[in-house]
Structure 1
Amino acid sequence: MLGSLQSDLHKLGVQTVAKGVCGACNKPIVGQVVTAMGRTWHPEHFVCTHCQEEIGSRNFFERDGAPYCEKDYHNLFSPRCHYCNGPILDKVVTALDRNWHPEHFFCLPPFISPFIFLPSLFFSLCFHEKDGKAYCRKDYFDMFAPKCGGCTRAILENYISALNSLWHPECFVCRECFTPFVNGSFFEHEGQPYCEGHYHERRGSLCSGCQKPITGRCITAMAKKFHPEHFVCAFCLKQLNKGTFKEQNDKPYCQGCFIKLFS
């Protein structure tokens, strides 16, 4: 085709000069020419090695001496983001032995859908790793740090180990009055720590007379418990025996005081 064109132009007295040899077809180039990669090309022959589309004036990339359009080059050879699997065209974050778009390197707990959750970007690239996944500090400790037996929040620093649980020091207190334990001495009831008074209150072992714990002998009367020396007549304060008292208005009386007061 080119040969006959040159012959026709010569017959008309028009001189043609070849502008080089095409890097694709190895034939002389007369007319438009593309100069790229140190060679000349017919415009229709300077195409993407992968998709075979004419590159023209578009940007292209060279690899191993072959031209590629911008789209195919990035799809074939650019590093890919571990999150979206798309090619990374500009800045790249390399972490956990993988590559990421900077906007895709974020904390995303595995039980939350990315379609309903706004992830937290690692703006400072400070993160915690667990099983090959990256987490921000808050989510990492919320998910994997031991939890306090008192407040159930994550334990980050000092802790107390007691009752088969870990505790923030400030959370290991009586579960009733929230008083810290002197010298670490506490009482356990149903897996929770109590001071002595509230421990006996929970167990129903406080003396109804003095409101102090009963640790020795005990008298049970009127559905209550007493130190023996505190089970006394409500009027004369004489110590009573369990079987020798009269009850009136939820109070115990000796025989004599009961007759005197209520007969």
Structure 2
Amino acid sequence: AVSSSPTSVPQPPPTAAAQQLDELLADLGHMQSKLSGQGARVPAEPSLDNMLGSLTRDLQELGIAATPAGVCAGCRKPIAGKVLTALGKTWHPEHFTCARCGQGLDSQPFFEQGGRAFCEEDYHQAFSPRCAYCAGSIREVKPPPVLPHHPSPPPATSPHLSPQKVLTALDQTWHPEHFFCAHCGKVFGDEGFLERNGKPYCHQDFLAMFTPKCQGCERPVTDNYLSALQAVWHPECFVCTECLSGFAGGSFFELEGRPYCELHFHQRQGTICHGCGRPVTGRCITAAGRKYHPEHFVCTYCLGRLQKGTFRECGDKMYCQACHDKLFL
């Protein structure tokens, strides 16, 4: 839309006929004022058409030709006095009004939209983009210039009518001061924003609220990661829960949702050989509540292999029958 200013048609130097017309109009107004001031009963108001018709006839009787300045685009009647030109048409000054609120525009700037004139407030309310946050109009168009024929300097533009910047994001328009993080309320800086479900977020809040968290340290995972045990991990955080050592060869053991190295997994499970202290992963002998590799289930004294059911226990050590009798009987 383009802002415009109505202009008055330049008037030619007054002729004798024009002067007589002005005098007649002045006399008519003076007579009406005088009658009203004296309290005299005023007859029913004649229509403007009848008054103009009567004046035209009187002027014609005096030999004066009264030619209208044009037809008013507002009332569709001839213009005999002051004429105003705007939107490529002529108007009675009092008929050039805002198409929305009806206030006069003959002495103030206006905006044009679809061939109609609007005051600044109504133009922005009807046609300016709306802020997605406050639903208010964004007045991105500069106020139009002052009318050339304005008799005095125009009043200062109200602060709410000053030009505003429009920000476009997420397929919507915003006042720049209203485009901020949906969580913390901070206006976005040079780092920009991230979107989730149609709402903008600062990087810090987006990471805290929506980014997957490392199962090890519970901090957001933003770069390289490992996926294991139905969770994501920073590579440096995927270590044995017990000794915090990395997994050689990438193999690990799971217990209650946590990763363990082989040694500490078997310790937790109670499957460490009591003889050698290493995990028991194959055949196993259980005796006295302890587990052994078959080859490590031997007599503590003679190191001969023991058979289940033919050994003796003393303290936490195992002995064959012969050694037990020799040592303790």
**Normalization by structure 2: what TM-score?**
0.57
Aligned to 1:221: 287
| CA 1:151–1:237: 2 relative to 1, 3 Å | farther
Matched residue of 1:121: which SS? coil
Gap runs ≥5 in structure 1:
12-19, 109-116
Distance 1:212 1:183 in 2: 19
Aligned to 1:102: 176
Aligned to 2:142: none
Matched residue of 2:173: which SS? strand
| CA 1:213–1:3: 2 relative to 1, 3 Å | farther
- After superposition, give the CA deviation of every residue in 1:215-254 in whole Å (9 maximum; x if it has no partner): 23322122221223444556x3645433233445555455
Using the TM superposition, give the Cα deviation of residue 100 of structure 1 relative to its aligned residue in structure 2, in angstroms: 1.5
Question: Of 164, 182, 185, which residue of structure 2 is paired with 1:119?
Answer: 185
Distance 2:308 2:193 in 1: 69
Structure 1 residue 193 corresponds to structure 2 residue 259: yes
Distance 1:251 1:179 in 2: 32
- After superposition, give the CA deviation of every residue in 1:151-200 in whole Å (9 maximum; x if it has no partner): 44433222234445443211221122211112323333444432111121
| CA 1:210–1:7: 2 relative to 1, 3 Å | same
Question: Of 16, 23, 26, which residue of structure 2 is paired with 1:6?
Answer: 26
Question: Of 79, 82, 93, which residue of structure 1 is paired with 2:129?
Answer: 79
Distance 1:3 1:152 in 2: 93
- After superposition, give the CA deviation of every residue in 1:123-175 in whole Å (9 maximum; x if it has no partner): 23723345654443344445554543434443322223444544321122112
Where do residues 222-261 of structure 1 align in structure 2 (5 Å cutoff)? 222-232=288-298, 236=301, 238-239=303-304, 240-249=306-315, 251-255=317-321
| CA 1:4–1:42: 2 relative to 1, 3 Å | farther
Structure 1 residue 92 corresponds to structure 2 residue 166: yes
Gap runs ≥5 in structure 2:
1-21, 32-68, 140-163
Distance 1:76 1:237 in 2: 104
Contact 1:29 1:42 in 2 (8 A): no
Contact 2:241 2:258 in 1 (8 A): yes
RMSD (Å) for aligned C-alpha atoms:
4.1
| CA 1:71–1:249: 2 relative to 1, 3 Å | farther
Distance 1:181 1:71 in 2: 70
Moved more, 61-70 or 97-106: 61-70
Aligned to 1:210: 276
**Normalization by structure 1: what TM-score?**
0.69
Matched residue of 2:275: which SS? coil
Identical aligned residues as a percent: 52
Distance 2:184 2:197 in 1: 22
Name the aligned partner's letter for residue 86 of structure 1: G
Aligned to 2:50: none
Distance 1:237 1:118 in 2: 75
Moved more, 141-150 or 45-54: 141-150
Contact 2:97 2:118 in 1 (8 A): yes
| CA 1:241–1:28: 2 relative to 1, 3 Å | farther
Distance 1:118 1:262 in 2: 78
* Residue-pair matches, total: 243
Distance 1:153 1:160 in 2: 14
Aligned to 2:120: 70
Q: Pick the structure with greater CA Rg.
A: 2
Contact 1:83 1:104 in 2 (8 A): yes
Distance 2:173 2:195 in 1: 15
The structure whose RCO (Cα within 8 Å, separation 6+) is larger is: 2
Distance 1:259 1:57 in 2: 127
Moved more, 213-222 or 20-29: 20-29
| CA 1:94–1:243: 2 relative to 1, 3 Å | same
